[in-house]
Amino acid sequence: MDEILKILRELDWSPLYISLKTGVVATIISFFLGIFAARKVVKAGPRVKAIVDGILTLPMVLPPTVAGFFLLLLFSRRRPLGIFLFENFDIKVVQTWLGCIIAATVIAFPLMYRNARAAFELVDVNLIYAARTLGMGEVEIFWKVAVPAAGPGILSGTILTFARAMGEYGATSMLAGNIPGKTGTISQKIAMVIQDGGYLTAGIWVVIVMLIAFGIVFLMNLVSGKHMKQTKRW
């Protein structure tokens, strides 16, 4: 017990801070992109929907290291896009916190997109027709009718997206590296201390991650429970 307290006192909390802020930023980006993409795909034709849906969902089924490899090829300063960003905007992606955000967003985005798409497909089309008869514009209908009606699904997708983004490891390691205090996330910290034989330190980080994960699952279940209570028919 004394050893655990000593480790806690000496613990570098930067991985938790980096993971949390990466998760928040990646979730915000995925939220708006996911809702936009989901709405467009729902309104698309069957062939377009199948192709676009496959592309947008691909990062969810690919190993994270494969996604990280493609991101590394894309944003490397030896590649056209990486050279363009650095020479024109002084933006460096590889081994930076921006790399953490991009990697986490790419890996977590499909969760937001899939949940939002499923939620939009369940929206009663009569609500949309009624809003149109009242003279509402399409943008107003989307934000004031469709999004609130799909709210529980969108909220669940947001929570899962944050959890996935905060715990991302493979793509982040490939693109952003593991620089302590800069790009070192909790997942990377656990892997690093295990390699160094620090099983007790790794265990403390695992407990922290499990507590955060439990809080996320509890929140998602709470949201789902409230929705089920509101829609209960019996």
Question: Minimal CA–CA distance to 139: which of 36, 1, 30, 66?
Answer: 36
CATH classification of the domain holding 104: 1.10.3720.10
DSSP code of 62?
Answer: S
Tell me how long the chain is.
Answer: 234
Angle formed by the axes of helices 97-121 and 46-61, to 10°?
Answer: 140
Question: Which range is least confidently modeled, 3-7, 89-93, 94-98, 143-147?
Answer: 3-7
* 125 Cβ neighbours under 8 A, 6+ residues apart: none
Residue 229 confidence (pLDDT) = 54
Mean pLDDT for the chain overall: 88
| pLDDT tens column, 171-180 | 999 999 888 8
The position carrying tokens 């969760």 is 111
Cβ-based neighbours of 115, under 8 Å, separated by 6 or more: 34, 153, 154, 156, 157, 160
Alpha-carbon distance of 107 to 164, in angstroms, equals 8
- As a whole number of angstroms, the distance between CA 214 and CA 153 comes to 19
Least confident interval from 90-99, 107-116, 175-184, 222-231: 222-231
pLDDT band at 36 (very low <50, low <70, confident <90, very high): very high
Number of compact structural domains in the chain: 1
- DSSP letter, residue 96: S
Buried b (16+ CB within 10 A) or exposed e, 38-76: bbebbeeeeeeeeeebeebbebeebebeebbbbbbeebe
Furthest-apart CA atoms within the chain: distance in Å: 69
- Nearest CA among 142, 151, 136, 108 for reference residue 39: 142
**pLDDT interval class at 232 (50, 70, 90):** very low
pLDDT at 226: 60
Confidence band of 204 (pLDDT split at 50, 70, 90): confident
**What pTM was computed for the model?**
0.88
Domain of 168, in residue numbers: 2-231
Residue in the block written with tokens 């290291």: 65
Residue 6's pLDDT band, with cuts at 50, 70 and 90, is confident
pLDDT higher for 12 or 169? 169
Of 213 and 32, the one with more pLDDT: 32
